[in-house]
Structure 1
Amino acid sequence: MTCDTILRRRKERGQRAYHKGASAEKSVALDYDRRGVDLLETRWRGQGGEIDLIFLDRGVYVFCEVKASDTVDSAMALLRPAQMQRIHVAASEYLGQTPDGQLSEVRFDLAVVDGQGAVTVMENAFGHF
């Protein structure tokens, strides 16, 4: 296998993963919308990292990590402690832009999309470190 073939396959894999993630995020955003929750940001990036979706739910800022996999359990297993820590750092940075800052009410949700496209939202899936 040539170096060009390896690079092309890696690029194709990355594009598939990007589109799969974007599709999962869209499904999750629609699920929250059906429940009357306002979407504030998609793929918000700060110095501390990226947050997939940020919502405002009756005065509570919701930082949502989205995972897609064949099953709910395998999607849940994709969220690692180091990633949770990066999300907390980024959320703290985001809260610095809000009227109440660090005193804002917050929630950290995990939303998973299984192989059939079903969305499962776990509210307060992970808390502060």
Structure 2
Amino acid sequence: MPASDAAAAPPARRAAEARGRVAEDRVAARLEAEGWCVLARRWRSGAGEIDLIAEREGLLAFIEVKARPRLAEAASALGPRQQARLLAAGEAWAAMNPGHGVAGIRFDLVLVDGEGRMRRIKDVLRDGQGGRPA
């Protein structure tokens, strides 16, 4: 949400936005600690937004971060419409940045609960099978 929209949003929406940013910061820090290079944060296109784009050893990951009080709530927060937008945004980014992803491309979902615990689901959009927990 742009800063001008954030100021006009209801307090609950602003609080959720702030929690989301904190969760994204924590996920980015963990990725970097694991040797990933974070290429972009909150990348937007006409197709949608990608929370984090990271690459390690030629593997490109488009990462959606979902922060909720409990991991189960976060896991159910990525609906079909958002999945389609995430896929379209990833395709747009890859088309604009052709030198990345030589070892492959995947879409990951990172769940963050109210206590800061994280669970990463790799390849969440692969063949509609729901990905693999990490």
Unaligned stretches of 5+ residues in structure 1 = 1-7
Contact kept? 2:57, 2:103, Cα under 8 Å: no
Deviations 1:42-69 (A, max 9, x none): 0000110100000012111100000011
Cα distance in 1, alignment partners of residues 66 and 127 from structure 2: 19
Cα distance in 1, alignment partners of residues 36 and 51 from structure 2: 15
Quote the residue 1:121 is aligned against: 120
Cα distance in 2, alignment partners of residues 72 and 79 from structure 1: 12
Quote the residue 2:105 is aligned against: 106
- Is the alpha carbon distance of 1:76 and 1:21 closer, same or farther for their aligned partners in structure 2, counting shifts above 3 Å? same
Question: What is the root-mean-square deviation in Å for CA atoms of aligned residues?
Answer: 2.2
Quote the residue 1:80 is aligned against: 79
Of structures 1 and 2, the one with the larger relative CO (CA 8 A, separation 6+) is 1
Matches within 5 A, 1:1-129: 11-100=10-99, 105-127=104-126
Which residue identity is paired with 1:20?
Answer: R
Unaligned stretches of 5+ residues in structure 2 = 1-6, 129-134
Which residue identity is paired with 1:57?
Answer: R
Contact kept? 2:58, 2:101, Cα under 8 Å: no
Cα distance in 2, alignment partners of residues 28 and 72 from structure 1: 14
Which residue identity is paired with 2:69?
Answer: D
Q: Which has the larger radius of gyration?
A: 1
Deviations 1:74-121 (A, max 9, x none): 100001011011000001100111235898721100001111011111
Tell me the SS of whatever aligns to 1:26.
helix
TM-score (norm 1): 0.85
